[in-house]
Amino acid sequence: MTKIALAIAGSEASGGAGAQTDIKTFHTLGVFGATSLTCIVSFDPNNDWGHRFVPVDPQVIHDQIEAAVAVHGHIDAVKIGMLGTPTTIGVVAEALEQYHFDKVILDPVLICKGQEPGAALDTDNALREKILPFATAVTPNLFETHILSGMDEITHVDQLIEAAKRIHDQGVPYVLAKAGTLFNTGTALDVFYDGSTTEVLEVPAIGEERVSGAGCTLAAAMTAEMAKGASPLDAARTAKQVVVSAIEHRMHGNAPFDCVFQGYYGR
């Protein structure tokens, strides 16, 4: 039986990140994708590619989740991406309470370029309080790991492991804390922790350019694999390979960043 994953995420018009990335990743892993859009992001070519951000009406976010659940009857796994505002976080938290999804993978996107840095704090508090308790797994990047763990310095793998443990201690069963290439080890390095197993997932870094959508792809691939019944650790391992392929096959355009493409994985 084909498995179904629901992405509760923002639209990013270029197709390189957000919900578009999520459904492409689900599809490439053989999982049927549904979406509830939380916001519309349009990069601004006339303003340093800043993110023009429009939240979707909270009732409409709820209606989309209701529709996806009603049509399919059962959702195997949910990915939560960019929520963007405390109001959106509130309505998504209510839906998580209402629908009792089995597997919820949270990519805790705090702010995107163009949003007020102050918004990160509001978003952080609301995410921690209202969404984190529903998360089966969380996939913070280094910035988000700093904020969620409360640690000042994370410059080494041992500190990343400690940070993953601190996030786990807040009640999240599975943590994938991502340094990516930011430790300058020539690798993309992430730490998986589930309360007993600590595993450092590391692959050679690819290229020098910034790539948009790698984090979305990782969390979406983990969601698809968990929807199919993989253990969270195996799902994380596969997800890293999907990201490697998506970066290898990235799209070059006019922007100062490339866009991942998942379509070659497994071919």
Figure out which of the listed residues 4, 12, 61, 101 binds ligand PXL, where binding follows CB under 6 A. Answer: 12
CA distances for 192 relative to 12, 19, 129, 189, angstroms: 28, 24, 22, 10
**From residue 38 to residue 57, what is the string marking binding to ligand PXL with x (rule CB under 6 A)?**
---x---------x------
**CB of 172: closest distance to ligand PXL in angstroms?**
19
Contact 33, 66 (CB under 8 A): no
Q: Is 108 in the site for ligand PXL (CB under 6 A)?
A: no
**CB of 149: closest distance to ligand PXL in angstroms?**
20
Q: Which stretch binds ligand PXL (CB under 6 A): 12-20, 123-131, 239-247, 249-257?
A: 12-20
Q: Is 211 in the site for ligand PXL (CB under 6 A)?
A: no
- Measured CA to CA, the distance from residue 26 to residue 32 in angstroms comes to 6
Q: Is 106 in the site for ligand PXL (CB under 6 A)?
A: no
Task: Round to the nearest angstrom and report the end-to-end CA distance of the chain.
Answer: 22
* Closer residue to ligand PXL in complex, CB, 51/161: 51
Q: Which residue has the tokens 């979707």?
A: 56
* Closer residue to ligand PXL in complex, CB, 23/161: 23
Q: Which residue has the tokens 């922007």?
A: 255
Instruction: Please give the residues from 110 up to 129 whose contact with ligand PXL meets the rule CB under 6 A.
Output: 112
Q: Which residue has the tokens 């995410």?
A: 127
Q: Number of residues interacting with ligand PXL: please give it, by CB under 6 A.
A: 14
Q: Output DSSP code: residue 254.
A: S
Name the 3-class secondary structure at 226: helix
Figure out which of the listed residues 6, 18, 149, 227 binds ligand PXL, where binding follows CB under 6 A. Answer: 18
- Measured CA to CA, the distance from residue 65 to residue 163 in angstroms comes to 32
* Closer residue to ligand PXL in complex, CB, 50/90: 50
Structure tokens at 82: 């960019």
